Structure 1
């Protein structure tokens, strides 16, 4: 009887220890998931800051380089579309649709900054230089936020895949989070620029022109959902200091 009592006691201790470990592991996943969401929101703040800077940049360039109408309209269209998607998503998560638009916007802004090399007067304009500096600072903060976000994702994903914590992850549907990184080789390569090729002339498009290629509205995201920024890309180095660091 005494031996049975000791066995029962050991079993109770093991069960209690297992329960305590499971609770701790679950709470750890919740904490890491919240940290990932919060670190993404910090990046989202800087993306919205970029939305605010782009209209002023477009108007400044238009005053000196009206021939670049195609580029200016594309930047404006993508900016409006990205801002609308960000508002629809509430800023709490990064959808694949938004990531694609943000990537296209980064490329369009990069091409615009490259094209101004053909306009010396614009490159010496103080307002343009200030906007370029602010965009550079914003991109630096986006890159820093991306590094912090990726570090949190790495720690979280390691626990999701590791034994024995993967038991809790599988039981409670804690799925792997997506990294926020440049994964398109074409984005890493600076585009070829032909300054002899001038866009068509015409009346400038208004800054608040609605997107001509609207995307369907994004439903409110699950508060427990993880961001999915795997397609979001940073622009490559552009003349004049527009060079966000890469992690």
Structure 2
């Protein structure tokens, strides 16, 4: 009976120790990162789905500017080719390649808007432009949410006592946050060819 009593006292202590070592909190934090990543992918997909409509609208009003339209189409095609799974979020090169492709889409869309000031009066263009602006805002919010989830996860797997369970049970590796694109601190210049 003494042995059973000792085992009975040891069991809650062992469970409490394991719970304090990140046994549940590390996978929960990782799932939060993966969920935020899924939200960000959905926002990028929304933008990708809007681009063909924008390009078709612009083509109807500006046949002479094929190079800008081609750039947008190529940037979109390039961005949709780079896939990043939740397992790749610990690889800085893969995250950076994905981020660069998405930044090229953003830059090409900015150039498109700069190149077509006369389209401002077209209702279809204005509606699509509003949707793209809203989508870009969603992407910014999703990127922020993803980075916050990554920060929480990375902090959890590096701090005591969760670091014990993170290393022993899960072999947890830090996730890679998104960084601002090179030159993001400089506002793009807008020129409507007005002399």
TMscore range, shorter length: 0.7 to 0.9
2: CA distance, partners of 1:81 / 1:127: 26
Q: 1:155 aligns with which of 152, 155, 161?
A: 152
Structure 1 gap ranges (5+)? 197-247
Aligned to 2:102: 102
Q: Alignment partner of 2:187: what SS?
A: coil
Does structure 1 conserve the Cα–Cα contact (< 8 Å) formed by 2:114 and 2:192?
no
2: CA distance, partners of 1:183 / 1:18: 47
**1:21 partnered with 2:17:** yes
CA 78–150 in structure 1, closer or farther in 2 if over 3 Å, else same = same
Does structure 2 conserve the Cα–Cα contact (< 8 Å) formed by 1:43 and 1:142?
yes
Does structure 1 conserve the Cα–Cα contact (< 8 Å) formed by 2:26 and 2:162?
no
- For residues 21-46 of structure 1, the C-alpha deviation after alignment (integer angstroms, 9 at most, x for no partner) is 32551221111101110111011111
Does structure 2 conserve the Cα–Cα contact (< 8 Å) formed by 1:82 and 1:102?
yes
Aligned to 1:176: 174
Aligned to 1:188: 185
Question: Bigger shift: 187-196 or 29-38?
Answer: 187-196
Question: Bigger shift: 42-51 or 93-102?
Answer: 93-102
Q: 2:51 aligns with which of 34, 51, 54?
A: 54
CA 57–144 in structure 1, closer or farther in 2 if over 3 Å, else same = same
CA 136–93 in structure 1, closer or farther in 2 if over 3 Å, else same = farther
1: CA distance, partners of 2:121 / 2:86: 36
Q: 2:77 aligns with which of 63, 68, 80?
A: 80
Give the Å deviation of 1:74. Answer: 0.9
Does structure 2 conserve the Cα–Cα contact (< 8 Å) formed by 1:44 and 1:91?
no
- For residues 135-178 of structure 1, the C-alpha deviation after alignment (integer angstroms, 9 at most, x for no partner) is 11112222222222222222111111212322222223111112
TM-score, normalization by structure 1: 0.64
1: CA distance, partners of 2:111 / 2:17: 53
Greater fraction helix = 2
**1:113 partnered with 2:95:** no
2: CA distance, partners of 1:16 / 1:183: 50
Structure 2 gap ranges (5+)? none
**1:133 partnered with 2:127:** no
TM-score, normalization by structure 2: 0.79
- For residues 92-134 of structure 1, the C-alpha deviation after alignment (integer angstroms, 9 at most, x for no partner) is 86633322211111111111112223x2xx1100000000011
1: CA distance, partners of 2:58 / 2:126: 11
